[in-house]
């Protein structure tokens, strides 16, 4: 079982969130976690993973251009990510600056790929978000996101077909 955490980070805040997401996923037994910057990720990485968690800074309420380019390139594997578990996280420059719409822009691309997205009943229904550098509360939200994706991916893979 593999969970892939992809991130784009200009200031380092989204990278710090990615590290916490990866730590959470690693807490689940028999899960291999791969963390890559968006520049280093490939379509093959997406294909090899059971769960894909993507983090982006909030740019005008949307995913960054580099994350969007990654999704644009993934058209070459359209239909091959169906049934994989997906999730998203973002860091933004302030409150009410588009964090939820950024997360939704990533989740929309995942849904178009036929991926499975699990919401959360706690705060951060759509994913994890931080204003500026993630503090302990935001890092815990990221860890929780990683755990949830790893647990769901593991459950889905082990269920009878």
**Six-digit token string for 148:** 């949830």
Checking if the pLDDT of 161 tops 70, the result is: no
pLDDT in tens, 89-102: 999 988 888 999 99
Tally the C-alpha atoms within 13 A of residue 152's C-alpha that lie toward its C-beta: 20
Tally the C-alpha atoms within 13 A of residue 151's C-alpha that lie toward its C-beta: 10
Global confidence as pTM: 0.96
For the chain, the structural domain boundaries read 2-158
Write the CATH number of the domain with boundaries 2-158.
3.40.50.360
d(CA 152, CA 144) in angstroms, rounded, equals 12
In this prediction, residues 117-140 reach a mean pLDDT of 93
């Amino acid at each position: 079982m593999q969970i892939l955490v992809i991130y784009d980070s200009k200031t380092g805040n989204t990278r710090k969130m990615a590290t916490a997401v990866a730590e959470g996923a690693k807490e689940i037994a028999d899960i291999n976690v791969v963390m890559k910057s968006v520049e280093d990720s490939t379509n093959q990485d997406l294909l090899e993973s059971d769960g894909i968690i993507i983090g982006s800074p909030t740019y005008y309420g949307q995913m960054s251009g580099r994350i969007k380019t990654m999704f644009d390139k993934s058209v070459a594997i359209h239909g091959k990510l169906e049934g994989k578990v997906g999730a998203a996280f973002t860091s933004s420059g302030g409150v009410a600056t588009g964090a939820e719409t950024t997360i939704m822009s990533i989740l929309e691309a995942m849904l178009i790929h036929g991926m499975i997205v699990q919401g959360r009943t706690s705060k951060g229904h759509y994913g994890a978000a931080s204003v500026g550098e993630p503090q302990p509360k935001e890092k815990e939200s990221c860890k929780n996101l990683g755990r949830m994706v790893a647990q769901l991916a593991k459950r889905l893979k082990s269920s009878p077909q």
